[in-house]
Amino acid sequence: MVQTQSAHVVIPSQEALLEGVLTIPRGARGIVVFAHGSGSSRFSSRNRKVADLMGASGLAVLLFDLLTAKEHTRDSLTSEYRFDIPLLAGRLADTIDWLGRETITQALDIGLFGASTGAAAALIAAAARPDQVHAVVSRGGRPDLADEALGAVRAPTLLIVGERDAQVLELNHQAAKRLGAIHRLAIVPGATHLFEEPGALERVAELAAQWFLLYLGRRDGSSDTDGQ
């Protein structure tokens, strides 16, 4: 069993204080930062399940909220924050900077795992922090909402989409053509948008962990494959 240390953290971002849980397995090669979207939070059962599976692979994980508790409550009524991609991306970039300052995490390469609109925030943050972000994974995400930032992304990017999530799959195909980085589109057979089918979420975690383990810890950003 992998030995881990876990702690509640509070991350400053402009006027907001963002709460999260930082889990670091002994000998972690890199850290994966989860960027939730569409009204989700660090308590999301899907993201927690994926985070646990990544931790079992030896990756450190930061599960945190891009919105404050007050904002989350308001967003649940108005949906006004979940599509505010610049806000989410800015807070994610601040979190990346925070990890670089903290003694316990500053030596770890950073990967971003974005779901839904959080995927767009992750790609924008990766473009804004090219020297700090070493890999990106999108789960059922909206990379198209990253718009012009797609061409500026340098971190190897994996787009994971369910086979039966037709609209999002098409949007991911279009976004992939605009990405400036090494990238791959992985389709999970039989899966819908939330990957609720038996084994689908486990497949997402497996694909994501493989991608992060391939690219985190390599300071030159290279690998033995082109990722295509």
Residue 114: which CATH number? 3.40.50.1820
Residue 228 lies in a domain: no
Cβ atoms of residues 35 and 118 within 8 Å? yes
Residue 226 lies in a domain: no
The domain of 128 spans 4-215
Residue 211 lies in a domain: yes
- Per-residue pLDDT tens digits for 64-78: 989 888 888 888 888
Residue 227 lies in a domain: no
Q: Specify the number of domains making up the chain.
A: 1
Percent of the chain beyond pLDDT 70?
A: 90
Residue 105 confidence (pLDDT): 96
Give pTM, 2 decimals.
0.91
pLDDT band (50, 70, 90) for residue 38: low
- Angle value at C-alpha 146, between 214 and 22, nearest 5 degrees: 50
Does the pLDDT at position 1 exceed 50? no
Residue 205 lies in a domain: yes
pLDDT band (50, 70, 90) for residue 39: low
Residue 225 confidence (pLDDT): 37
Element (H, E) at 30: strand 30-35
Residue 225 lies in a domain: no
Residue 220 lies in a domain: no
Query: Over the chain, what is the mean pLDDT?
Result: 89
Distance (Å, rounded) from C-alpha 104 to C-alpha 22?
Answer: 10
pLDDT band (50, 70, 90) for residue 221: very low
Cβ atoms of residues 100 and 94 within 8 Å? no
Does the pLDDT at position 135 exceed 90? yes
Residue 223 lies in a domain: no
Give the residue carrying structure tokens 């930061």: 62
